[in-house]
Amino acid sequence: MKSLVLPFKWLPSRGFSKGLLFAGFFACLSAMTVPAVNAAGPAVPPQVAMINDSIEQVWRDFSIRPAAEADDATWCRRVYLDVIGRIPSLEELSEFMSDRDSNKRANLVDRLLNDDRYTEEYANHWSTVWTNLLIGRSGGTDRRDLTNRTGMQKYLRDSFAGNKTYDQMTYELVTAEGSTTPGNANFNGAVNFLVDKVNAEKGTLATSSVSRIFLGQQVQCTQCHNHPFNQWKQQKFWEFNAFFRQTRALRRFVDGTQDIESAELVSQDFAGEANDPEDALVFYELRNGLQKVAYPVFTDGTEIEKSGFVEDVNRREELGRLMLQSEYLDKMIVNRMWSMFLGYGFTRPIDDLGPHNPSSHPELLENLGKEFRANSYDLKKLITWITLSRPYQLASTLSASNEIDDPTIGESPKFSRFYLRQMSAEQLYASMVTASNAQSKGSYEQQEAERRRWLSQFVVAFGNDEGTETTTFNGSIPQALMLFNGDLTKNAISLEAGSFLDQLSQTGRSPKDRVTRLFLSGLARRPTKNEVSIASKLLVARKGDEPEMLQDMWWAILNSNEFIMQH
């Protein structure tokens, strides 16, 4: 590519103006305000009205005037990213924009969730989200891991494709037995959640992961002492831990090697630490050196039989049953899903619920949890309620009328605007492929290997006791080089016959029209006057070579802050 190498600067946290956010030559680009379009449709579920009433009451309490509604194109891009993990293609965006139905936003949500054309993408996106949540982005990637990443993904992909209810999925993940590896006779992909968490350190990682992910109970620091700020005590940690003491992960090695071929999660009799399976107790040590005893007791105080014999009581099955009765199961998934779509949950952190950590909207969190339970834990219904709610329709504008609503400085979120956030690395990859049809060349295995290599540049492991990972775009040299000149970007801006830019150059009536298509494809908006002027100047600089001008503009769009943001 012969384009100018233009350095980009990473986006400030408080907001941005529409336009390519580049230093130097592109710094002169200005914002474009798009008139808001009414999104109200006649068929609003009562749960949406409930959300709106609760959110709007907080606005009134704080004298906040919310941002205007996002325009249709921005909202379309937003909902595609959140529901199926990528931006819309130009054709999909155009179809939505040309729709004159007053209920077209609800219709689009329904289509993305329920149309067979999107089932695979929906399942792939949410299986990726939950695989990363359950086992981390690096889980199952080391040959010594007991976890089989492919098996985890297959279980989740099948679950989301079939719209398995959340309570059933939770119960299966907590109680699963079987082999980790697809193709084995007793394969059960759900075991991959716990298989690497139950053997080491008496199953303490299983204890903390299950309580935090599904119940919003942060118990990990109470393993050794009482928590100083909440109701969790050391006794409760070990009572919860006792549910996992019948569970073991067994290794199966590749013949003649130390490589793990598969692992198997099994339930087996637990003799207890006093070697009496009839009274299978657990010992733990206080800070003063004294030892105390714990039996399996759920967080609400419900006790189960003390026997360690599986035929008397399967402790994990009892745990799964008790979890399904807990209101914290409902609140936790509502809080998590809300944060995934709105950028912040009702609590911070989202997986720390209880009186010690008040919610920003306590009644809404409780009522949404009840509605989710009453609607059979249908995740697609919960997604529908959130995406059709008023806060999800708003523009990302921070102004004098809502400047008090700024969670980035520690304020509790009021949801009076759509909070900007970066795409995940997986969303960015899928969006670049969609925008440019830029899939890596080669076999499926080669493409997947390239995809994993690309994603690995954006993974940051914080190294805490939960093994938490995230993706981030922090402007590091490897990230910048990959976005500037990596193979995916090279494919995206290729001028080869049949490429996206080659096909684009044969459409439209003028260079300006083709530049407009570039901006709609990448940013879901039309170019500003300044951006059109820049394209004209580039065309002159390229001595009338329009494909090279389009290549320069497309490279700039794909490397802009605006492209990598969910807004």
Instruction: With H, G, I as helix, E, B as strand and everything else as coil, classify residue 275.
Output: coil
Ordered DSSP codes for 381-395: HHHHHHHHSHHHHB-
For 380-391, b where at least 16 C-beta lie within 10 A, e where not — what string?
A: bbbbbbbbbbbb
Does the model's pTM come out above 0.85? yes
Q: Are 133 and 152 in contact (CB under 8 A)?
A: no
Any domain includes 85: no
Tokens at 323, concatenated? 């979890």
- Number of domains into which the chain is organized: 1
| Higher per-residue pLDDT: 276 or 252 | 276
Residues 125-154: pLDDT tens digits? Answer: 999 999 999 999 888 877 778 999 999 999
| Higher per-residue pLDDT: 84 or 472 | 84
Any domain includes 271: yes
Give the rounded percent of residues in the chain with a pLDDT score beyond 90: 69
Q: Is 259 exposed, middle or buried (0-12, 13-18, 19+ CB in 10 A)?
A: exposed
Quote the CA–CA distance of 515 and 536 in Å, as a whole number.
Answer: 10
Closest CA to 129 of 213, 217, 11: 213
Average pLDDT of the residues in 18-32? 38
For the chain, what is the mean pLDDT? 86
Q: How far is CA 57 from CA 52, 60, 61, 62, in A?
A: 8, 5, 6, 9
pLDDT at site 476: 63
Any domain includes 146: yes
Q: Are 555 and 3 in contact (CB under 8 A)?
A: yes
Q: Are 274 and 281 in contact (CB under 8 A)?
A: yes
Tokens at 111, concatenated? 């289509």
Closest CA to 517 of 443, 407, 454, 435: 435
pLDDT at site 487: 80
Instruction: Please provide residue 95's backbone torsions phi and psi, each rounded to the nearest 5 degrees.
Output: -60, -45
pLDDT at site 493: 92
pLDDT-derived band at 220 (thresholds 50, 70, 90) equals: low
Quote the CA–CA distance of 225 and 392 in Å, as a whole number.
Answer: 41
Tokens at 24, concatenated? 């130097």
pLDDT at site 22: 40
pLDDT of residue 253 exceeding 90: no
Question: Checking DSSP bridges between strand 291-294 and strand 421-422, what pairing results, if any?
Answer: unpaired
Closest CA to 424 of 133, 14, 106: 133
Give the DSSP letter of residue 263: E
Q: How far is CA 257 from CA 143, 186, 199, in A?
A: 11, 23, 22
pLDDT of residue 216 exceeding 80: yes
Helix axes 72-84, 379-388, angle to 10 degrees: 160
For 430-450, b where at least 16 C-beta lie within 10 A, e where not — what string?
A: bbbbbbbebbbeeeeeeeeeb
Any domain includes 361: no
CA 405 centroid distance within chain: 23
pLDDT at site 258: 77
pLDDT of residue 463 exceeding 50: no
Q: Are 85 and 430 in contact (CB under 8 A)?
A: yes
| Higher per-residue pLDDT: 171 or 221 | 171
- For residue 186, the enclosing domain spans 120-325
Any domain includes 160: yes
Any domain includes 101: no
Quote the CA–CA distance of 139 and 134 in Å, as a whole number.
Answer: 9
Any domain includes 157: yes
pLDDT at site 40: 45
Residues 403-413: pLDDT tens digits? Answer: 999 999 989 99
Closest CA to 191 of 182, 48, 200: 182
Residues 366-399: pLDDT tens digits? Answer: 999 999 999 999 999 999 999 999 999 999 998 9
pLDDT of residue 28 exceeding 60: no
pLDDT at site 3: 36
Q: Are 514 and 462 in contact (CB under 8 A)?
A: no
pLDDT at site 474: 57
pLDDT of residue 252 exceeding 70: yes
pLDDT at site 518: 96
pLDDT at site 460: 53
pLDDT at site 430: 93
Tokens at 83, concatenated? 């529901």
CA 129 centroid distance within chain: 5
Return the residue matching tokens 């059960």.
188
Quote the CA–CA distance of 97 and 558 in Å, as a whole number.
Answer: 22
pLDDT-derived band at 16 (thresholds 50, 70, 90) equals: very low
Half-sphere exposure of 237 (CA within 13 A, CB side): 26
Residues 35-89: pLDDT tens digits? Answer: 333 444 446 799 999 999 999 999 999 999 999 999 999 999 999 999 999 999 9
Any domain includes 189: yes
H or E segment at 531? helix 529-541
